[in-house]
Amino acid sequence: IDLKKYIKKKLFSPETERQEIWLHNLPNTSFLFDIINKLREKYKDETFVITQDINITNENINKKINLSNCIFKNEFTVEKSFFSCINFNNSTFKENVSFKEIIFDKNILHLHFSFDRVKFEGYKTEFINSELHNISFAESIFNSEITSFQFSKIYDGNFYKTEFRENVRFNSFGDNPKTEIQNTSFRKAIFKKQTNFEEVFFFNNIFFEKTLFEGDTFFQKAKFYQINNNINNEYKENNDIKRKSEVNFKKSNFIGNIYFSEAFFETDVDFSGSQFNTISFGNAIFDRNVRFHKTTFNNNIDFFNTSFNNLVEFYRAHFYKPIQFHFTDFLDRAIFSNTIFYREAQFLYN
C-alpha cells in the first residue's frame, strides 16, 4: 500500500501535544481499515485526523481494526456490516455517528469492541437495531443532543463512568425489536438529562451501582429476567450448583423523577443506600427479594398495587413525605425495622 497518497499533511497540536497526521482520499470500503492499520503500524502514537465522510455498508470484516486516537471531522456511518474486533479508544467524533444493523460479534477469543474515553460531539449518535457483544464505553462522553441504542442487543457491556450529557434512549416501542441488555454495568455512569429504558428486557446481572440520574428516568414496563438460557450464570451454595442473577442500584442518586411503573423483576434487586426524588413503582412486580436498606425517599412515592412476592426490606430507610402503601401486596416477609417515617404512613387495602 502506498501510504503517502493518503496523508494530506502533518501538524503538531499544542492541545494534545502530539503530532497530527491529516488523512484524505480514503475509500468507503473495507480497504479503509487496512490503510488505517498500516498507518498505525508506522505512526503508533500520533493522532489521525480524518476530514471526509466515512460511509461503510454491507461489509464483513474478520480482523482487528485500530481506529484509536482519531479525530473524525465529518460524519461516520456504518450500516449492515459485521466486525470481529474494533478499537476506537481516545477518539473524537465531531459530527453525527450512526451504527445501524451492525454486528459486533461474540467470538471465542473474547475480543472487545472498545469505545473507551471517546467523545461524541455531533448532533446525533446512534447504535440502532444492532447486536453489540463485549462492548465498552468506559469513561466516554456523549455530548450529542440525541443518543440512541434503541432496538439493539447489548451483551457484556461496560458503561463505567460514562457520561451522557443530553437525552439518551435505550427504549423499545411498537412492533420494533425489543432492546435487550445482558450482563452489563453502568457503574458510576452519569445521566445528565432524560434517560429512557422503557420496555427494555434486562437479563442476568445488571449494575447501576453509584450511578447518577440527574434528569427524569423511565423504566416503565421494563423486564428484569433471572436467566437467559444462552448464558450460564452458576454459583455454589452448600455444594449445590445454583443459578442466580441480580440487579444492583446500590448507592445511586435519582435527582429527577424515576418511573418503574409496571416493571417486572424476576431477579433479586438492591436499592440500598440510594437517594430518590419522586418515584413510582405503581403496578410493579418484585418476584424475588428486594432491599431498600438505608434508602432515602425525599419526595412522593407511589407503591400503588405493587406486588412484593418475596422478602422486602426497608431497614433504616427514611421517608420524608407522607406515604401510602395502597393495595400493596406483601406476600412474604416485609421488614421495616429502624425505619423512620417523618410524615404519615398508611397501609390501605380498600
- Residue range 205-232, pLDDT digits in tens: 999 999 999 999 999 999 999 875 544 4
Helix (H, G, I), strand (E, B) or coil at 135: strand
Alpha carbons 58 and 174: distance in angstroms, whole number: 27
Q: Are 322 and 344 in contact (CB under 8 A)?
A: yes
Alpha carbons 136 and 128: distance in angstroms, whole number: 16
The predicted structure's pLDDT at residue 237: 38
Cell of 169: 434512549
The predicted structure's pLDDT at residue 16: 66
Q: Are 128 and 151 in contact (CB under 8 A)?
A: yes
Alpha carbons 133 and 182: distance in angstroms, whole number: 10
The predicted structure's pLDDT at residue 109: 52
The predicted structure's pLDDT at residue 238: 42
The predicted structure's pLDDT at residue 242: 40
Cell of 307: 406486588
Alpha carbons 218 and 104: distance in angstroms, whole number: 27
Please name the residues in contact with 277: beta carbons below 8 A apart, sequence gap of 6 or more: 254, 255, 256, 257, 258, 298, 299
Q: What stretches in the chain show pLDDT beneath 50? A: 108, 230-242
* Nearest C-alpha neighbor of 74 from the set 109, 92, 50, 102: 50
In single-letter form, the type of residue at position 319 comes to: F
Alpha carbons 83 and 60: distance in angstroms, whole number: 6
Task: Give Dmax (Cα) for the chain.
Answer: 80
Residue 18 backbone phi and psi in degrees, to 5: -130, 155
The predicted structure's pLDDT at residue 63: 87
The predicted structure's pLDDT at residue 245: 80
